[in-house]
Amino acid sequence: MNFQMNDEQQMLADSARSFVRANSDVEKHRQNKQLVKLDAATWQQFAELGWLAVPFEEKHGGLGLGVTETMVLLESLGEGLIMAPYIATVVMGGGFLRHARELVQDEKIPALIEGKLQLAFAAEEYERVFSLENTAMSGEVQDNGIVLNGTKACVLNGDQADLLVVLVRTEGAVGDRHGLSLMLVDANAEGIERLPHRTVDGRQGAEVRFSNVLVPHEFLIGELNQAADIADSVLQEALLAISAECVGSLSVLLEQTVEYSKTRQQFGVPIGKFQALQHRMTDMFIAMEQTRSLLLAATLKTAEGHKDAPRAVHAIKAQLGRGGRKIVQEAIQIHGGMGMTDELGVGHYAKRVTAADGMFGNADRHLMAMAAARP
Amino acid sequence: MDLQIPESEKFFRDEVRTFLAENLTDDIRRAGKLVTSVFSPVEEAMAWQKILHKQGWAAPHWPEAFGGTGWSVSQRAIFAEELVRAETPPLVPMGLLMCGPCLIGCGTEQQKAEYLPKILNGEHFWCQGYSEPGSGSDLASLKTFAEKDGDDYIINGTKIWTTYAHHANRMFALVRTKKDGKPQQGITFLLLDMKSPGITVEPIVGLDEVPEQCQVWFDNVRVPQANRVGRENDGWTVAKYLLMFERGGQAYAPGLNVLLEKIRVMAGKQQGTHGTLKDDPVWQYKMASLEADILALEFTEMRIKSALSSGKDPGALASMTKILGTELLQKATELRIETLGAQALIWQPQALVPGAEQPPLGPEYAMTAMPHYLNSRACSIYGGSNEVQRGIIAKAVLGL
């Protein structure tokens, strides 16, 4: 057992920290009250730093690294509240590309690594509790391909993606694990309409409508009707990435709250001198440490392929809506009125963690999934 | 002990319902549904106040002589409940619920004659100048200074978290008039015209991206001494009197029950693999926990109301309902965003402005959930933070 970073991980962490020190996006969150286009210069910088190459094989120009390195990187990006769609394009989009047909991989992965390709995973649907099995949007299988009809909701990075990874039901009924298919679709294809929106935490998303969109068979990811396992494994990496980013954001919330309580004076003393607040900040600290531990448990178990890795992933994702929420709410409360303003960073960090709980199933769903996955 | 409701109260409730059905316009109803704060969109709230005023119902809790209704405590509670059930936009409270009752109790005859009618008809829009950047929970440490000059005071300093100061044309404020002695004994309560030279208002954007609060600066602002309420240096007493109205007399349970019903309806629309979310045991457990707490609060509030009816002062119990009401509201808004999942992440504040032309993305019922959740984090901070309220109970009730 060893919780020390190796040289490569340390280098990644150092480069991410120094980037974040120079480029924290908190100010951008304050300014962005409209939809914004992808910050191409920052994305190019990500490419040059090698970050876009992290999870890909060397034959495609990748660094051949895994979820542990992604964790190290994203924790730092979370500290700077970085807006760039790393999770949507590299972790989720890239994760699915690694399961695409060889020819597709050879073409798309190098483009992604060079920073020339944006992706988005279209999975959520309106008025449906999120789970893979609960996917209802249908794909009709024909000789020349699969025809998509329906609407996907809250597609992160959906407005600026070049390629969409779409999860649909090609067989069976809602509730079945069998019958799910994944396909890569040109986001600008005829029959696709995208309605962009901001998300509460300053990301970009879109409602994506499909009307008779024909996708040739070679753009299937995995086998027809058998996408559930691939979707699960990529989704797990996404949940780890989301959690790592939140750990970065939560650590800033804790630090800023403690700092604020040492400087804010009321009744002639810093408010941090009040025992009622000391105990609550201590509980925030404990929740923070527990969250870190779960992130490590889930990431390392996944990296090493432990059988109980999926349960640990459910545990850390659930923790964002439990201990994470507690830290967020206390951070706002202890900052008082200032915590409620758009002006301070606190609210923006708080929104990111709040949003994370709502993505791909909240704490309740993941605790139930954890219970169901008991060996 | 029993829970029988007198016939007269049932009749009264019908009368209120009929009035609401006949007088609520579509615009006002819609604005009410879009409210994500304790503060309504101003235009619609004021339009609604005008309609109520015409009926003589804008300030039911005021004495009849000043334009109140003469209703019993029960009737007032029924009226408030029906407004909440009909999802009317809450009336802006600073004039009707705070300044008005305070003037009735502590103002001069001249102040009452001048201000009360204009609070009722909406001509005066009040804001509350209490908190300062360095004085929040420790309000008595406030520093905005009023210096006597002939028949006037000259005010310098700043106030913060002044809700709707950018809409207001009047402010009631606490200012310091004496720098030595106990901080509480050097404070004076003043009424200001927001058009006075030297006042600058800067809105503060909140987490929901709405400028609800403001910071207000005073640069040699002249206020006639005739605008003082109570004696000089005795403003703390006036403020405490006002606080009874700000914190007391408000029932949270009816609004919470309306919110829970909305959440139940939306849960019934969220399809899972085995029925809807409403059929899900984990969701049901969370809902039932809230239902139990809110049932308890409903009866706690009825017990307080019953004490009020028999002329007792509920005192520190107002602190208890403030804690319970605001924290249960926060829990309910949490359950609502949990119920909606990723749909709650779609951020479209532009669709919440009454009269917005662009239709919202996703189910319409989902778009208020996140702004309301975020905005309601403020409830445990304002009006005396819940930490301050707990301190009051510890001291005044438990004698600690």
Q: How far is A43 from chain B (nearest CA, A)?
A: 24
Q: B41 and B173 share a domain?
A: no
Residue B378 lies in a domain: yes
- Spatial separation of the C-alpha atoms in residues A39 and A41, rounded to whole Å: 6
Q: Which domain holds residue A200?
A: 120-225
A167, A194, A225 — which closes off a domain?
A: A225
User: Where a domain ends, among A118, A149, A170?
Assistant: A118
Banded model confidence at residue A370, pLDDT cuts 50, 70, 90: very high
Does residue B104 lie within any of the structural domains? no
Question: CA distances (Å), A135 to each of A183, A211, B263, in order?
Answer: 14, 17, 23
**Confidence at A48, pLDDT banded by 50, 70, 90:** very high
Answer with the one of B208, B238, B268 that is the final residue of a domain.
B238
- Domain containing residue B306: CATH number: 1.20.140.10
CB B210 within 8 A of CB B222: no
User: How would you classify the pairing of strands A145-156 and B346-347?
Assistant: unpaired
We report the CATH number of the domain holding residue A158 as 2.40.110.10
B 190-219: CB under 8 A from A: 204-207, 209, 213
Contacts of B136 in chain A (CB under 8 A): 266, 336-337
Catalytic pick from B44, B82, B212, B246?
B246
Residue-level pLDDT at A315 = 98
Residues in chain A within 8 Å Cβ distance of B337: 354, 358
- If asked whether residues A239 and A366 sit together in one domain, one would say yes
Residues of chain B numbered 89-148 and touching chain A (CB < 8 Å): 131, 134-138, 141
Which one of A261, A266, A317 would you mutate to disrupt binding with B, by most B Cβ within 10 Å of its Cβ?
A: A266
The average pLDDT across B220-239 equals 96
Is the pLDDT higher at B308 or at B334?
A: B334
Q: What is the ipTM of this complex?
A: 0.96
When pLDDT is averaged across residues B114-132 and rounded to a whole number, the result is 97
Query: Quick check: B362 and A153 CB within 8 A?
Result: yes
End-to-end CA, chain B: 33
List the domain range (segments joined by +) for residue B55: 7-91
The secondary structure of B80-138 as a DSSP string is HHHHHHTTPPPPPHIIIIIIHHHHHHHS-HHHHHHHHHHHHTTSS-EEEE--BTTBSSS
- Residue keyed to tokens 């939140």: A246
Hey, what are A193's tokens? 């309409």
Tallying the residues shown for chain B, one arrives at 400
Of these ranges, A314-323, B97-106, B300-309, B358-367, the one predicted with the greatest mean pLDDT is A314-323
Please name the residues between 205 and 224 in chain A that touch chain B, using a CB distance below 8 Å. Answer: 205, 207
pLDDT over 90 (residue B351): no
Confidence at residue A209, expressed as pLDDT on a 0 to 100 scale: 98
User: Which residues of chain B does A175 touch, with a Cβ-Cβ cutoff of 8 Å?
Assistant: 273-274
Residue B361 has pLDDT above 90, yes or no: yes
Residues B256 and B192 in one domain: no
Name the pLDDT band for B2 (thresholds 50, 70, 90): confident
Per-residue pLDDT, B246 = 59
Residues B22 and B157 in one domain: no
Same domain, A286 and A197: no
Q: What is the pLDDT of residues A64-103, one digit of tens each?
A: 999 999 999 999 999 999 999 999 999 999 999 999 999 9
A155 and A196 share a domain?
yes
Q: How far is B389 from chain A (nearest CA, A)?
A: 13
A368 vs B161, B282, B337: nearest CB: B282
Average pLDDT, integer, range B192-204:
98
Q: Are B136 and A266 inside 8 Å of each other by CB? A: yes
Question: What total of structural domains would you count in chain B?
Answer: 3
Check whether residue B234 and residue B256 sit in a common domain: no
Last residue of a domain, one of B198, B216, B238: B238
User: Is the CB of residue B193 less than 8 Å from the CB of residue B219?
Assistant: no
CB atoms within 10 A of CB A64: 13
Measured between CB atoms, does B283 come within 8 Å of chain A? yes
CB contact under 8 A, B341 and A339: no
| b (16+ CB within 10 A) / e for B83-108 | bbbbbbbbbbbbbbbbbbbbbbebbe
Q: Encode pLDDT of A242-295 as tens digits.
A: 999 999 999 999 999 999 999 999 999 999 999 999 999 999 999 999 999 999
Is the CB of B385 inside 8 Å of chain A's CB atoms? yes
* Same structural domain, A38 and A56: yes
CATH of the domain at B172: 2.40.110.10
Task: Tell me if A126 and B131 make a contact (CB, 8 A cut-off).
Answer: no
pTM over 0.80, yes/no: yes
Distances (CA, A) of B92 to B17, B45, B172: 21, 7, 15
CB of B136 closer than 8 Å to CB of A337: yes
Residues A256 and A358 grouped into a single domain: yes
Same domain, A245 and A355: yes
Residue B188 lies in a domain: yes
Number of domains in chain A: 3
Q: Give me the CATH number covering residue A331.
A: 1.20.140.10
DSSP code for B271: B
CATH code of residue A53? 1.10.540.10
What confidence tier does B240 reach under pLDDT thresholds 50, 70, 90? confident
Residue B272 in domain: yes
B117 has pLDDT over 70: yes
Domain limit, last residue, from B187, B209, B238? B238
Using the Cβ of A133 and the Cβ atoms of chain B, whether some distance falls under 8 Å is answered with yes
**Does residue A18 belong to the interface with chain B, where contact is any CB pair within 8 Å?**
no
- Cβ within 8 Å, pair B137-A266: yes
Catalytic residue list contains B246: yes
Q: What is the pLDDT of residue B248?
A: 52
Q: Is B339 on the interface with A (CB under 8 A)?
A: no
Contacts of B400 in chain A (CB under 8 A): none
Q: How confident is the model at residue A24 (pLDDT cuts 50, 70, 90)?
A: confident
- Out of B269, B341, B363, closest to residue A358 by CB: B341
Nearest CA in chain B to A364: B282
